Every structure is written in structure tokens, then in C-alpha cells.
């Protein structure tokens, strides 16, 4: 896809998302509240429409602002989806060839990477369940029984495979990745509260 088509696709996608958010806000649970919002939107639209027709430059400015907002919205969604997929991939890699992984292990992995040191297992569970991954209250992994994610439950929701090990490099970079600095644990920034989950996998050069 060319850069122009990518931009246009994001504007279209973002516009749909913005309209969806607007519709969700407009239709309240109570009929009276919905009617009030409809009246307010109609009145504001009538006034704004008159202003735009009277001053054509404002029409182009408004259209440009909408396109920018739609593009940014689409980019936010793309990054969130990529971050969620990266976190799920990390869970899969922690399972390796076992039947699952305990949430305590995931928490220990985050703490080992010096991330979310104030979290407990409940916070990890909230994030995992927000990703639609079932959590079993009693799972036996490597002789230990606790709350965890079973492999079958993970793969039933996410099409994810174990990451292949890093290949042999004939001409290593000056930094020289070793077993001590290879980023096996992703850098993760997850918000347990709210609907948004932001996860940043580790990259070469991260400290």
C-alpha cells in the first residue's frame, strides 16, 4: 500500500471510529437524556452549518481538522492493537512448551524487568481478561497450582505461535547481544484500569 493510500485508509477508518464514538455518546440509557442530546446536536449543527456556508474557508479548516482527528484516532487504535498482540505474544513465549503459565510468573517477569512494581496478581488478571483470555482459578504448571492461563484457552482466542529463537549472526553488531542482554522480556506499559492497554515490546538498544 502506498503512503497516500495508507493515509486515506486511516482517515476512513478513523472517521468510522469517531462516528461510532459519537453515536455511542448520543444514545444515552435514558430517553430524556438522548432527546436532549439530539436537540443540542441539531441546534449546534444548524448554527455551525450556517457559519460554514457563510465563510467557505471555515469549511476547509473544519474538514482538515476532522481528517487530522480521524487519522490520529486510527493510529492510536493501530498502536493499541499492536501493543496488545505483543503482550499476548510475550505470554505465549512464557508458556514455551508447557501447558500454561501462572499469573504469578507473569507478574515476576514484569517485576524482573522493573515494570509495574506496585502490581499484584489481581492487576495482571485484569489486563489478561481485558484481552479476552480466560483465566483459570486452579491451573497446575510445573508442579505448582495457582491462578493461570492454559495454553488451549490462549490459542482459542488468539492465533499466536511460539517466537522462534534468534538466529545465528555471522557478523554481530558492535553491541554484541548476549544471553545477558537479549531482550526476552518485553518492555510493557499496561494500564490495568480503564479500557486502554498500551504495551511496548523491547527492542535492541533498550535499557
DSSP of 134-165, one letter per residue?
--EEEEEETTEEEEEEEHHHHHHH----PPPP
To the question of pTM greater than 0.85 for the whole model, the response is no
CB–CB of 200/190 below 8 Å? no
Residue 183: per-residue pLDDT: 42
Q: Please tell me the distance from the alpha carbon of residue 24 to that of residue 70, in angstroms, as a whole number.
A: 17
What does the DSSP 8-state code read for residue 205? T
Coil, strand or helix at 168: coil
Cα–Cα distances in angstroms (integers) from residue 47 to residues 26, 40, 51, in the given order:
19, 11, 6
CB–CB of 207/141 below 8 Å? no
Residue 14: per-residue pLDDT: 87
Cell, residue 168? 545465528
Cell, residue 54? 457563510
DSSP of 76-130, one letter per residue?
HHHHHHHHHHHHHHHHHHHHTTSSEEEHHHHHHHHHHTT--TT--HHHHHHHHHH
Cell, residue 24? 455511542
Written as tens digits, the pLDDT of the chain (207 aa) is 788 888 889 899 889 988 888 788 778 677 777 777 777 777 777 677 766 666 777 777 888 888 999 999 999 988 888 888 888 999 999 998 999 999 999 999 989 988 888 889 999 999 999 999 999 999 999 889 999 999 999 999 999 888 887 665 554 444 433 334 434 445 555 554 444 444 444 444 444
Amino acid at each position: 500500500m502506498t503512503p497516500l493510500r495508507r493515509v486515506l485508509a486511516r482517515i476512513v477508518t478513523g472517521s468510522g471510529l469517531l462516528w461510532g464514538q459519537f453515536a455511542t455518546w448520543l444514545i444515552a440509557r435514558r430517553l430524556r437524556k438522548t432527546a436532549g442530546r439530539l436537540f443540542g446536536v441539531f441546534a449546534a449543527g444548524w448554527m455551525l452549518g450556517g457559519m460554514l456556508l457563510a465563510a467557505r474557508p471555515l469549511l476547509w479548516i473544519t474538514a482538515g481538522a476532522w481528517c487530522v482527528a480521524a487519522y490520529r484516532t486510527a493510529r492510536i487504535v493501530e498502536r493499541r492493537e499492536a501493543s496488545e498482540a505483543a503482550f499476548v505474544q510475550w505470554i505465549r513465549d512464557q508458556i514455551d512448551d508447557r501447558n500454561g503459565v501462572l499469573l504469578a510468573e507473569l507478574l515476576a517477569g514484569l517485576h524482573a524487568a522493573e515494570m509495574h512494581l506496585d502490581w499484584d496478581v489481581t492487576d495482571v488478571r485484569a489486563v489478561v481478561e481485558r484481552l479476552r483470555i480466560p483465566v483459570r482459578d486452579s491451573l497446575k504448571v510445573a508442579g505448582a497450582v495457582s491462578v493461570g492461563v492454559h495454553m488451549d484457552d490462549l490459542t482459542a482466542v488468539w492465533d499466536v505461535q511460539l517466537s522462534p529463537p534468534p538466529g545465528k549472526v555471522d557478523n554481530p553488531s558492535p553491541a554484541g547481544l548476549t544471553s545477558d542482554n537479549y531482550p526476552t522480556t518485553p518492555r510493557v506499559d499496561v494500564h490495568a484500569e480503564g479500557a486502554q492497554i498500551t504495551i511496548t515490546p523491547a527492542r535492541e538498544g533498550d535499557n
